[in-house]
Amino acid sequence: MYKAIRIHGYGGPEVLQLETLPTPVPGRGEILIRQEAIGVNYIDIYFRTGLYKVPAFPAILGMEGAGVVMAAGAGVTDFEPGDRVAYPTALGGYGECRTIAADRVVPLPPDIPFDIAAGCMLRGLTVHMLLREVHAVRAGETILVHAAAGGVGLLLCQWARHLGVRVIGVVSTEEKGELARQNGAADILVGHDNLAARVRKLTDGAMVPVVYDSIGKDTFVASLDCLAPHGLMVSYGNASGEVTGISVGMLATRGSLYLTRPGLTTYLAQRSALLAGSRELFDLIVQGVLTVRIGQRFGLPDAGAAQTALESRTTTGSTILLP
């Protein structure tokens, strides 16, 4: 038997229930992992509220984790019991153990602790996607980054600085601004008001070639207004709600803009992409270029409190559960 957090319907944090379940048996191509640390990400909240749909109820939330292989199902050749592993995007993470398709898991190097892995697999690979794939940033570029002190945000600031990119970070408080600065943001804007005017001032009128917007509904139009002609709007999250009702003409009138809505699952669909991105991420952590800040740690039974903290904007860096 093992303990996991399940939901039987969409709703507030109260739908997250701690339950005792029979230990699962790995099927063909799967492994069973004893989880040492579990990531809590904004996407978990979208799945809890029903903005994103789970395949069926009851469902175990959580996309990201790290631990030790306990058993391997038929046909698994890459992993064996005792191996240290981690994964970024597989629903079913909030539990003391879990089964998972072996091709969605990567070997965890001995010098990366479990808590760091659970704090960076999804968020770090998202940054890899944003800065290296969605738009390959170039040294000397200036980018606008929302939620710059969040889990994705702090890693984005560090990685962008490493690549010689100037980050203008947007945050809600001075304290978060200071943290983002320490993590590589060159300039900080507190609050979303008059965003375009403040970006114009910081860029001497040039505006920015790329905006990374994870806030969604509340900031979408303001973010478009910060772009230089032919600029790229990367709308990659919905922390304030989903963006709806876009007219493509909005892109024309603001200077022939580009718009993309990337999802990490698509970018990691090929196992080769998952392995290559993870290798790059782990290398940068080992080299000390990236430091994963675990801002909040909760016990597994407190998954609801962890999500409430994330939703209420009181967290910085990554949030994890320790089973």
In the complex, the residues that contact ligand NDP under the rule CB under 6 A are 41-43, 122-123, 126, 147, 149-153, 171-172, 176, 214-215, 218, 236-240, 262-264, 310-311, 313, 315
| Residue 143 vs 215, nearer CB to ligand NDP | 215
| Residue 69 vs 233, nearer CB to ligand NDP | 233
∠ at Cα 210 (205, 214), nearest 5°? 120
| Residue 72 vs 239, nearer CB to ligand NDP | 239
Distance (Å, whole) CA 237 – CA 213: 7
Exposure on the CB side of residue 37, measured as CA atoms within 13 A: 23
Shortest CB 22 distance to ligand NDP, Å: 31
Q: Report yes or no: 190 and 200 within 8 Å, Cβ to Cβ.
A: no
Shortest CB 228 distance to ligand NDP, Å: 23
Shortest CB 128 distance to ligand NDP, Å: 11
- SS3 of residue 7 by DSSP: strand
Q: Report yes or no: 108 and 31 within 8 Å, Cβ to Cβ.
A: no
| Residue 4 vs 215, nearer CB to ligand NDP | 215
β-pairing verdict for 97-101 and 187-190:
unpaired
Q: Report yes or no: 141 and 186 within 8 Å, Cβ to Cβ.
A: no
| Residue 32 vs 210, nearer CB to ligand NDP | 210
Query: From residue 121, how far is each of 12, 21, 26, 249 by CA, in Å?
Result: 26, 26, 22, 37
Shortest CB 262 distance to ligand NDP, Å: 5
β-pairing verdict for 17-21 and 30-40:
unpaired
Shortest CB 270 distance to ligand NDP, Å: 16
- SS3 of residue 307 by DSSP: helix
| Residue 158 vs 315, nearer CB to ligand NDP | 315
Shortest CB 238 distance to ligand NDP, Å: 6
